[in-house]
Every structure is written in structure tokens, then in C-alpha cells.
Amino acid sequence: MRETAAVDLHLHSLASDGRLSPAELVRHAASRGVRHLALTDHDTTAGVAEAAEAAVAAGVGFVAGIELSAAWRGRGIHVLGLSIDPDAVALRAGIGRLHGFRLERAERIATRLEAARAPGRAALKAVLAMTALPTRTHFARALVDLGAARDASEAFDRLLRRGRPGYVASEWPEVAEVTGWIVAAGGAAVLAHPLRYALSNGARRELAREFREAGGRGVEVATGGASAAQVAEAATLATRTGLEGSAGSDFHDPAIAWNPPGRLAKLPPSIRPVWASPPFPRDFGCS
């Protein structure tokens, strides 16, 4: 369980809220023993070309990816697109809409933080200096830099989380629509970190079934920091809803110890790996 897995299909770079450039990320993952990877930044493929080039140099397998923001029954849900064509028209149009949502949401978060006497305007200014594509992680970092929170997790718990003053209800496009963009881009759609959503088991299965009907291929079964019981639970979800399995650490930052690239459980033998068939290259995942 703690040896490095060869396949890690959920990694972030500076193109979204990761800490490493795309090339540094690929070298970091390769140095840890990852042999096949995907770059999956939030709502952007801006880092993909640089990562692909670094992967060739490092001799590791690479597919273009993205982690798209979506909504289901009013909850924020993340859908991974793996082995996508980043230039596909439907995907580009969808990403454009998500960028609009992100900028608008950042404005609203800032306004709400100000109303709660937190430095929302200053945080927004800092966030927009960090990125063209604001995430809540960027807000958390800005609030820490401004002395409004001790660390990022406190910023989330006190200010940014659902039920907190800076929370803005997500108005992302529906899961089925976002999944359609990935399918249109020739990619495999994977439901990210399925146990992280505050849903009952029954609702989680309904989400997974609707996702599959919309063209979804898999669900993340091996995730960063997951216990054996959590891997088993996600595997059961995959089996009961007819989805394949994926593996991804959700790595963002070398200073965060719990989810380095490749620290992942093996997929249970009953689970078919999403990377074993097209659109993944033929030898993907074989070391």
C-alpha cells in the first residue's frame, strides 16, 4: 500500500492551484517512481504542453487531463477528463464558461468576506496576482499571507467552507453536461474522489449512475491518503454502478505530506483500470 504506484492520474501544477510548474511536477513524480501520469489542473489545460514535453524527457507515459468543476443537486462535484484532446471545440467552450464562473465567484467571495470583516478585497487582489483562474485554495493562501488565518485549513474551516461567511453556493454546470464535454474531447471521464462529497451512500450511487449514463467511464478508487476501508468502499461503488476504477493522488504541494505523487493503494483485482483501454495509449500503465 505504501510503495509507489506506477500510475497516478490526478496531479495539479501551477497552472491551477499546485505549487510546482508542470515540468517540475512531472520530474517530481518521475523521481518518486511514477511511470504513467496525467496532469489534471482545475478547469484548465494550460500546463499540458509543458508537462507532455517534460514527460518525454523523463521517459514517463503521459496523457492530457483536466479536473472540471460541476454541480449535482447543488453540490460541487469534480469530474476528471483523462486522455483528452485539449483543443476540442466543445471542451474549449466549456472551459471558457467555467473561467467566467470562477472570476464571478471570486468577486462574490471577496464581497462576502468583507461583510464578515475579513480582508476580502485585499485577498482578491492577491489572488488575481497569483492566477487568472482563482480557486478557493488561492483565497486560503491569500488569507494566510494577510494574517487573517493561521494556515490554509483554518482559512477553509473558519471562512471558506460551506456554512462559513465566505462560502458561495456553486453554480457550476451540471455533471452530465460537463461529462459530455470530456466525451466530445475523446477523453475518459472519471468521477474524482467520490467519498469526499457530503452525500449519503444512496445519493452517491445515484450520482455515479447518472454520471455513467452521461458517458462517465470510471470513478477514482485509489485516492491520496485513503485508508484500506475507503478504497474498498470506493471499489464497491464502482462495482455496483458499472464504472471502471482510476487511481490519483490529487497532489498539489511538496510541503503537504499526506498525498505525494504515487502514494496510492493498488486497485482491487475486481476493478477494471480505466487506463487499460482507449483512449489511453496501448501500453499505458504497463511498467
Residues contributing to the site for Mn ion (CB under 5 A) = 17, 67, 78, 192, 250
Cα 215 to Cα 11, 173, 185, 190, distances in angstroms:
23, 16, 12, 10
CA 114 – CA 20 distance, rounded (Å): 31
3-class DSSP state for residue 284? coil
The kind and range of the H/E element at 146 are none
Give least dist CB 8 to Mn ion, A: 12
Cβ closer to Mn ion: 37 or 116? 37
Residue number with CB closer to Mn ion (140 or 192)? 192
Closer residue to Mn ion (CB): 78 or 112: 78
Task: Count CB atoms within 10 A of the CB of residue 109.
Answer: 23
Residue nearer to Mn ion on the CB measure, 244 or 250: 250
The CB-of-162 to Mn ion minimum distance in angstroms stands at: 15
Minimum CB–partner distance for residue 173 and Mn ion (Å): 16
Determine the residue with CB nearest Mn ion. 78
CB contact at 8 A, 50 and 23 = yes
| Coil, helix or strand at residue 190 | strand
Set of cell numbers at residue 198: 457530503
Closest to Mn ion by CB, 62 or 251: 251
To Mn ion, the closest distance from the beta carbon of 125 in angstroms equals 21
Q: How far is the CB of 33 from Mn ion (least distance, A)?
A: 21
**Are 191 and 211 contacting, i.e. CB atoms less than 8 angstroms apart?**
yes
Q: Are 223 and 248 in contact (CB under 8 A)?
A: yes
Nearest to 216 by CA among 256, 250, 196, 246: 246
What DSSP line would sit under 113-125, residue for residue? Answer: HHHTTS-HHHHHH
**Nearest to Mn ion of 59, 74 (CB atom):** 74
Query: What's the closest the beta carbon of residue 282 comes to Mn ion, in angstroms?
Result: 27
